[in-house]
Amino acid sequence: MKVPLQRTNEEIADIYRRQVDTVYRVCYMFLKNVPDTEDAVQSVFLKLIRSGPRFKDGEHEKAWLIVTAQNHCKNALKYWWKRKRAAFSRIFEGFYVQKPPSGEILELLLALPDKYKIVLYLFYYEGYSSKEISSLIGIKDSTVRARLRIGRNHLQINLTGGHTYEDSAVEKLD
From the centroid of its chain, how far is CA 172?
38
Residues 161 and 135 in one domain: yes
Q: How confident is the model at residue 104 (pLDDT cuts 50, 70, 90)?
A: confident
Last residue of a domain, one of 100, 115, 146: 100
Residues 77 and 91 in one domain: yes
The boundaries of the domain holding residue 111 are 102-174
The model carries a pTM of 0.63
Domain total for the chain? Answer: 2
43-47, 73-77, 79-83, 127-131, range with the lowest pLDDT: 79-83
Per residue, the 3-state secondary structure of 85-120, as one string, reads CCCCHHHHHHHCCCCCCCCHHHHHHHHCCHHHHHHH
Statement to judge: residues 1 and 24 lie in one domain: yes
Among candidate residues 83, 100, 117, the one where a domain is terminated: 100
Residue 96 and residue 152 in one domain = no
Are 7 and 91 in a shared domain? yes
Per-residue pLDDT reduced to its tens digit, 11-67: 889 999 999 999 999 999 999 889 999 999 999 999 999 887 888 898 999 999 999
